[in-house]
Chains A and B, each alone.
Chain A
Amino acid sequence: MAISVNGTDIPIPDDPRVSLLDLLRERAHLTGTKVGCNQGACGACTVLVDGERVLSCLTLAVQADGRTVTTIEGLGDGATLHPLQQAFIDHDGFQCGYCTPGQICAAVAMLRELQGGVPSYVTADLAGPGAPTAEEIRERMSGNLCRCGAHNGIVEAILQVAKEQAA
């Protein structure tokens, strides 16, 4: 009965009311993942469960039993930043930074979805692969709100990493 969080096993809480978000912040003391709306409307709490982006505020910790969770703290190796972290800095993809961990975790999974051929509402040809365009990135990142309005920098940062990955 444990969740592997960034490579460390965290025991499942006895109380099933504990959300994955609260488990990460209050019990694993990984406070990079942020509490925004706590009702699935803002994306600030986005983490990766078995590599897929989910909202940790609406995930009960007990539902993640036996799964692998990656948070913003687990993306870099401690010495070097993940390419998306560096790109957010280079493109001013934030002001206050509160939504940033959720934005970056969402972007990591989003690029994998795009490369894996998962379509979006704006993908013109459902049968074909999606392309990393600004329009696609805006649609695919719409679950992550930024109240500072840093979206232009966020899109530029993700576009740059998408191009580097494709190269």
Chain B
Amino acid sequence: MIPFTFARATSPEDALGLAALEGHRLLGGGTNLVDLMRKGVEHPVTLVDVTALSSDISETAQGGLLIGGATRNTALAAHPLVRTRYPVLSRAILAGASAQIRNMATVAGNILQRSRCAYFNDPAASRCNKRLPGSGCDAREGLNRYHAILGGSASCISAHPSDMCVALVALDAQVHLLGLAGARTVPLAEFYRLPGETPQIETVMAPGEIITAIELPPLPVAARSAYRKVRDRASYAFALVSVAACASVQDGVLTELRLAFGGIAPKPWRALRAEQALLGGPVTRDAVFAAMDLELAEAAPLAGNAFKLELARRTAFAVLADLTGETA
């Protein structure tokens, strides 16, 4: 690890001033950033510890939740209001990483965590356009079992690794940002950029902006929600495919539906096309598969990950069938 200096931010304004400086990176739990520094992927001049910023979880006037960016993953998953009103979020967080890592990792850090692509994480021997723009992508012809089938580009097919964010995008979470130009709010669904020709630019954050909080809207349908993660071992592994869903059924037809996927795209993937196709109809295998075919119409699978097309269809049906009590 190359030398760096260490600073602490005690207020959002404090963090803001430091975040805007050249080579400064914000440090939450460090579960990703410290590892990337040791591997030589990240080389900040200064780390700014922001774990003293807000870790409050409070109800908003509208009946939603405001979650401080420094909230630890465990604290969010275990919060009584999250467990009862947004169970999909608890389940998704608990599906990720290990208990030790969830105790350390912050919510803002989870959102801003970086790719687990083996080639991104291997500066000594691999080409990666995200790590070194223009150097090439070794994943396209290499090991791409964990990579994206949707939303990737010729330059990058890295999949977003977060479980938490899949639930957040299904819940219409908003990201509260603070920058030198002021505060603004961006829906998480519009927060990430697809790689295109610039995979090194991952979000819409302006230089120096920081995440201060995440806001969940009041969402009664979320009380009936689920998260299912399919992976290579039963626990402590990244998703091959994961599904977050909230659903409400009346008289045998879906009256409300939120559906999002992890493991298949460079960002947590809200399946709006599939939602539209399914609303107003019953949850049957045929209906879910047809809706998923619409969602996956532009999929560009590769040698190692084409299985995700079928896995995504089947997992979506399994989750929706469980959630709505259908057995067909």
Contact = CB atoms under 8 A, between A and B. Distances in A.
Interface of A: 15-17, 19, 38-40, 43, 46, 52-55, 58-60, 62-63, 106, 109-110, 113, 117-121, 123, 126-127, 138-140, 142-144
A45 B85 CA distance: 36
Contact of A58 (B34, B51, B234): B34
Contacts of A63: 27, 30, 49, 51
Contacts of B3: 15, 17
Interface in B80-136: 83-84, 87, 90-91, 94-95, 97-101, 103-104
Closest 3 CB pairs between A and B? A143-B98, A142-B235, A16-B6
A16 B4 contact: yes
Contacts of A52: 103
Given A62-B6, A121-B95, A40 B235 contact: no
A74 to B, nearest CB: 17
A143 B99 contact: yes
A115 to B, nearest CB: 13
Nearest to B104: A54
Given A38-B38, A143-B236, A43 B78 contact: no
Given A58-B31, A62-B6, A117-B78, A127 B83 contact: yes
A120 B74 CA distance: 10
Contacts of A113: 99
Contact of B30 (A15, A58, A117, A139): A58
Contacts of B31: 40, 55, 58
Interface in B22-75: 27, 29-31, 34-35, 38-39, 47, 49, 51, 74
A39 B38 contact: yes
A118 B3 CA distance: 38
A121 B227 CA distance: 10
A86 B184 CA distance: 55
Interface of B: 1, 3-6, 27, 29-31, 34-35, 38-39, 47, 49, 51, 74, 77-78, 83-84, 87, 90-91, 94-95, 97-101, 103-104, 229, 234-236
Contact of B78 (A46, A53, A119, A143): A119
Nearest to B33: A58
Tell me the interface secondary structure of chain A in the complex. Answer: loop
Contacts of A55: 31, 100-101, 104
A40 B94 contact: no
A70 B100 CA distance: 14
B245 to A, nearest CB: 16
Nearest to A140: B99
Given A126-B83, A143-B98, A121 B236 contact: no
Contacts of B49: 63
Of B5, B87, B235, most buried by chain A (CB within 10 Å of CB) is B235
Contacts of B47: 16, 60
Nearest to A118: B78
Contact of A106 (B34, B100, B235, B236): B100
10 contacts: A17-B4, A46-B100, A53-B100, A58-B31, A60-B6, A60-B27, A113-B99, A126-B84, A138-B235, A143-B97
A9 B77 CA distance: 33
Contacts of A139: 234-235
A8 to B, nearest CB: 23
B57 to A, nearest CB: 15
Given A55-B100, A62-B6, A40 B78 contact: no
Contact of B74 (A19, A62, A118, A121): A118
A28 to B, nearest CB: 20
Given A53-B103, A120-B99, 11 more contacts: A15-B3, A53-B99, A58-B29, A59-B30, A60-B30, A60-B47, A63-B49, A120-B94, A121-B229, A138-B234, A140-B99
A115 B97 CA distance: 21
Contacts of B234: 138-139, 142
A15 B47 CA distance: 12
A119 B235 contact: no
Contacts of B95: 121
B153 to A, nearest CB: 28
A108 to B, nearest CB: 12
Nearest to B94: A121
Contacts of A118: 74, 77-78
A16 to B, nearest CB: 4
A126 B225 CA distance: 12
Contacts of A40: 31, 35, 101
